[in-house]
């Protein structure tokens, strides 16, 4: 057997800082959402839905000069069309920030497969699919359930708990640490990595680069540990995986690990938190689910529709006229699955949460070729987290609505959620 | 009635095999598969319609027999 020397050297050594382009960072209150939108301002984080509903009515493809220029479609029809149209919209960047990676980073991108375009995308995605099927993730259900119980045991008679910090966030952190084969006690570091990648988009570039560096230092440490001591987990799987008859590029291994860590954690944490927030402020729904646990899978889809945590982005490939607007090459498109999910043209009573909604063709996990690879895992975690909570803590409410905080940026969910459980 | 999945559209969301496991299963990559020959047994029409109307990709085709 030959020694795997791909990771002996730091794969970043000798690499130039990717060129790409930077634009001036513009922050501060939005003047008009139709011409100056920003998904990282506090007003959007606190409650984006009225903003989106207003735009859908008066300017369904809104624009901003911030982030070097971008568009925000709010109709389901337009969001779907863009998700399907990989010919005109590229995934080479999927976080709308002040930096555009260079064009030649496509079709692989920094974090395959989410940052990849066809034809490479399909092959990078195919590597991951077998590990994330419904049947495969079902094997983790028992451990996830036991872990949820242990978190609630930890409340130990407290009257007020923070369901986001003390419950929701730990579940996906533990599941992802197990799947990747990272030490479970590293959870708090994952939280930092996630916040840096997703919430720090308006930080100065040097800070962004330093933050990214820390994540990749950590991943390289884990990779080297797995090269020395292979295990039955996703890290070893990616180290051994082959594409086109060769092992993966070191940057592909690390990039996919970064993606799983980031995409797997605060998305699911947000979905669990938003569901508990809804139930805390809606006693009728809470009581009904406690009485009819069989309704939970249906209710869960409604929480995913109404509080879809994930918004993606695309870059326009070439100048074009698109559904009435003039898009320029390298303009951003903020692809709001949450806005699509509340379009009255697609859903009856779109602005209401109806926990027994039977027809629910929502797009919380995306549409088209980038459909969330982790959707079966996320659904399992969300269901188990809510089942255990409702079984152990059937009566709860918001301790103080004014203290609830929501993550800003493209993944939205409660980050502080004080609940009275005593 | 018969159910079919358009493999060009299916992206493996799995709503069909979650909601109507008697009519649909998953393959090794999570894409939806029609169970057996796809003929919907008597009484299964509702399950077929529920699956079709929840598929985010509109990949499920219901073929009404003449
Ligand atoms: C409720 C929780 C989650 C939501 C709402 C969610 C949402 C999404 C969305 C909307 C996309 C589409 C991206 C695009 O169109 O550019 C996506 C992609 C992806 N998600 Fe998730 N996600 C969740 C949980 C997870 C989990 C637990 C994992 C796995 C560990 C995961 C891994 C991925 C991956 C690998 C992709 C890229 C797929 C591709 O590009 O082919 N996600 N997710
Ligand atoms: C395997 C290698 C790498 C991966 C997987 C990776 C991943 C990422 C991710 C996930 C983002 C944030 C998402 C986005 O803005 O689209 C990003 C942005 C960025 N990365 Fe990397 N990166 C890698 C290597 C590097 C290297 C070597 C450098 C430079 C020394 C670098 C510099 C940057 C910068 C400057 C940004 C943009 C920050 C901003 O938004 O202002 N990356 N990268
Ligand atoms: S619900 Fe639709 S996309 Fe999902 S597996 Fe079934 S047919 Fe495929």
Of A369, A329, A371, A344, the C-alpha closest to A60 is A344
Average pLDDT over residues B56-60: 98
CB within 6 Å of ligand 1 — which residues?
A: A 83, 91, 94, 113-114, 125, 128, 259-260, 263-264, 267-268, 271, 309-310, 312, 337, 364-366, 370, 372-374, 377-378
Q: Quick: pLDDT tens for A68-102.
A: 999 999 999 999 999 999 999 999 999 999 999 99
- For chain A, which residues lie within 8 Å of any Cβ of chain B, measuring from their own Cβ? 126, 129-130, 132-135, 297, 301, 358-363, 365, 367-369, 371, 375-376, 379
Give A27's DSSP letter: -
CATH second-level architecture of A21-420? Orthogonal Bundle (1.10)
Q: What distance in angstroms lies between residue A260's CA and the mean position of ligand 1's atoms?
A: 9
Q: Cα–Cα distance between A308 and A299 in angstroms, integer?
A: 13
Q: Quick: pLDDT tens for A298-327.
A: 999 999 999 999 999 999 999 999 999 999
Bridging pattern class, strands B2-5 and A320-322: unpaired
State which ligand 2 atom lies nearest to the alpha carbon of A250. 1
* Mutation target vs A (from B6, B9, B13; most A CBs, 10 A cutoff): B13
* pLDDT > 50? residue A173: yes
Contact B57 A367 (CB under 8 A): yes
Asked if A137 contacts A246 with a C-beta cutoff of 8 angstroms, the reply is no
Give A19's DSSP letter: -
Q: How does residue A17 score in pLDDT terms, banded at 50, 70 and 90?
A: low
State how far the alpha carbon of B59 is from the alpha carbons of A268, A401, B41, in Å: 26, 41, 21
- Count of domains in chain B? 1
Q: Which domain holds residue B28?
A: 2-63
Contacts of residue B29 in chain A, CB cutoff 8 Å?
A: 126, 129-130, 133
Q: How does residue A2 score in pLDDT terms, banded at 50, 70 and 90?
A: low
CATH (domain of B49): 3.30.70.20
Average pLDDT over residues A255-273: 94
Average pLDDT over residues A250-266: 92
What is the average pLDDT value for chain A, to the nearest integer? 94
Contacts of residue B54 in chain A, CB cutoff 8 Å?
A: 301, 359-361
Q: Cα–Cα distance between A198 and A339 in angstroms, integer?
A: 19
State how far the alpha carbon of A187 is from the alpha carbons of A178, A217, A269, A310, A411, in Å: 11, 16, 13, 21, 19
Share of chain B above pLDDT 70, in %: 98
Q: What is the pLDDT of residue A278?
A: 98
Q: Using CB atoms, which residue from A133, A358, A379 is nearest to B29?
A: A133
Q: Cα–Cα distance between A264 and A266 in angstroms, integer?
A: 7
Q: Cα–Cα distance between B7 and A373 in angstroms, integer?
A: 17
Q: Quick: pLDDT tens for A334-359.
A: 999 999 999 999 999 999 999 999 99
Q: Using CB atoms, which residue from A133, A362, A375 is nearest to B26?
A: A133
Q: Quick: pLDDT tens for A104-129.
A: 999 998 889 999 999 999 999 999 99
Nearest chain A residue to B10, by CA = A368
* pLDDT > 60? residue A1: no
User: What is the interface pTM, i.e. ipTM, of the complex?
Assistant: 0.95
């Amino acid at each position: 057997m030959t020694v795997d020397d791909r990771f002996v050297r730091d794969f970043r050594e000798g690499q130039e800082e990717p060129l790409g382009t930077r634009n001036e960072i513009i922050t501060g209150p939005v003047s008009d959402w139709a011409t100056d939108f920003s998904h990282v301002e506090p007003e959007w984080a606190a409650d984006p839905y009225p903003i989106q509903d207003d735009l859908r009515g008066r300017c369904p493809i809104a624009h901003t000069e911030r982030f070097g220029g971008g568009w925000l479609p709010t109709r389901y029809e337009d969001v779907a069309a863009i998700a399907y149209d990989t010919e005109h919209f590229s995934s080479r960047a999927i976080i709308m920030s002040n930096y555009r990676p260079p064009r030649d980073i496509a079709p692989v991108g920094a974090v395959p497969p989410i940052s990849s375009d066809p034809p490479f995308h399909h092959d990078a995605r195919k590597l991951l699919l077998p590990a994330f099927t419904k049947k495969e993730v079902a094997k983790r259900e028992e451990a996830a359930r036991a872990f949820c119980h242990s978190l609630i045991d930890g409340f130990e008679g407290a009257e007020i708990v923070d369901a986001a910090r003390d419950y929701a966030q730990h579940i996906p952190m533990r599941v992802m640490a197990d799947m990747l084969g990272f030490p479970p006690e590293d959870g708090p570091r994952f939280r930092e990595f996630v916040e840096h990648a997703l919430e720090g988009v308006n930080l100065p570039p040097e800070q962004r680069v330093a933050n990214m560096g820390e994540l990749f230092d950590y991943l390289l440490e884990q990779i080297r540990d797995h090269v020395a001591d292979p295990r039955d987990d996703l890290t070893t799987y990616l180290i051994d995986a082959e594409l086109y008859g060769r092992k993966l590029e070191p940057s592909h291994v690390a990039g996919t690990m970064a993606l799983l860590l980031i995409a797997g954690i605060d998305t699911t944490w947000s979905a669990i938190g938003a569901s508990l927030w809804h139930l805390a402020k809606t006693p009728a729904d809470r009581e009904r689910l406690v009485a009819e646990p069989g309704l939970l899978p249906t209710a869960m889809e409604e929480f995913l529709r109404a509080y879809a945590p994930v918004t993606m982005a695309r870059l326009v490939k070439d100048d074009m006229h698109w559904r009435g607007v003039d898009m320029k090459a390298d303009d951003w498109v903020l692809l709001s699955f949450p806005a699509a999910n509340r379009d009255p043209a697609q859903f009856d009573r779109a602005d209401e949460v109806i926990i027994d909604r039977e027809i629910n063709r929502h797009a919380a996990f995306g549409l088209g070729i980038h459909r969330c690879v982790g959707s079966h895992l996320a659904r399992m975690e969300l269901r188990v987290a809510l089942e255990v909570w409702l079984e152990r803590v059937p009566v709860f409410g918001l301790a103080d609505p004014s203290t609830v905080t929501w993550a800003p940026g493209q993944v939205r969910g409660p980050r502080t959620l004080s609940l009275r459980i005593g | 009635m018969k159910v079919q999945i358009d493999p060009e559209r299916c992206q493996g969301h799995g709503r069909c095999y979650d909601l109507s496991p008697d009519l649909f299963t998953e393959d090794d990559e999570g894409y939806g598969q029609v169970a057996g020959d796809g003929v919907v047994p008597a009484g299964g029409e509702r399950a077929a319609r529920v699956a079709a109307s929840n598929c985010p990709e509109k990949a499920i085709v219901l073929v009404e027999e003449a």
